[in-house]
Amino acid sequence: MSLLSLRGVRKVYGENVVLDGFDLDVDAGECVVLIGASGSGKSTLLRCVNLLETVDDGVVELAGVDITDPRVDADKVRSGIGIVFQSYNLFPHLSVLDNITLAPIRVHGVRREVARARALEMLERVGLADKATAKPDELSGGQQQRAAIARAMVNSPQLMLLDEVTSALDPELVGEVLDLLRELKSEGMTMLVCTHEMAFARDVADRVCFLHHGRPLEVGPPAQVLDAPREARTREFLSRVSGTTGR
Which residues lie near another protein (CB under 8 A)?
8, 10, 15, 17, 20, 47, 51-54, 56-59, 68-71, 74
Output the DSSP codes for 61-106: EETTEETTSTTS-HHHHHHTEEEE-TT----TTS-HHHHHHHHHHH
Cβ atoms 139, 190 nearer than 8 A: no
- The nearest distance, CB 205 to another protein, in angstroms, is 28
Q: What is the rounded distance in angstroms from the CA atom of residue 50 to the CA atom of residue 78?
A: 6
Rounded to whole angstroms, what are the CA distances from 44 to 13, 158, 181, 210? 11, 20, 21, 14
Tell me the helices (H) and strands (E) count for the chain, helix number first: 9, 10
Of 58 and 142, which has the nearer Cβ to another protein?
A: 58
Select from 130, 157, 210 the least CA-distant residue to 4.
Answer: 157
Closer residue to another protein in complex, CB, 113/137: 137
Beta carbon nearer to another protein, 17 or 120: 17
CA gap 127, 146 in Å, rounded: 8
Nearer to another protein, 74 or 107 (CB): 74
In angstroms, rounded to a whole number, what is the distance separating the alpha carbons of residues 199 and 189? 20
**Closer Cβ to another protein, 21 or 220, answer by number:** 21
Closest CA to 190 of 179, 204, 203: 204
- Rounded CA-CA distance 54/47 in Å is 9
CA distances, 127 to each of 31, 97, 142, 236 (Å): 23, 13, 11, 39
The amino acid that residue 60 corresponds to is: V
CB of 59 to another protein, least distance (A): 7
Taking the complex as a whole, the smallest distance from the CB of residue 17 to another protein amounts, in Å, to: 6
Nearer to another protein, 57 or 179 (CB): 57
Q: Is the CB of 66 or the CB of 124 nearer to another protein? A: 66
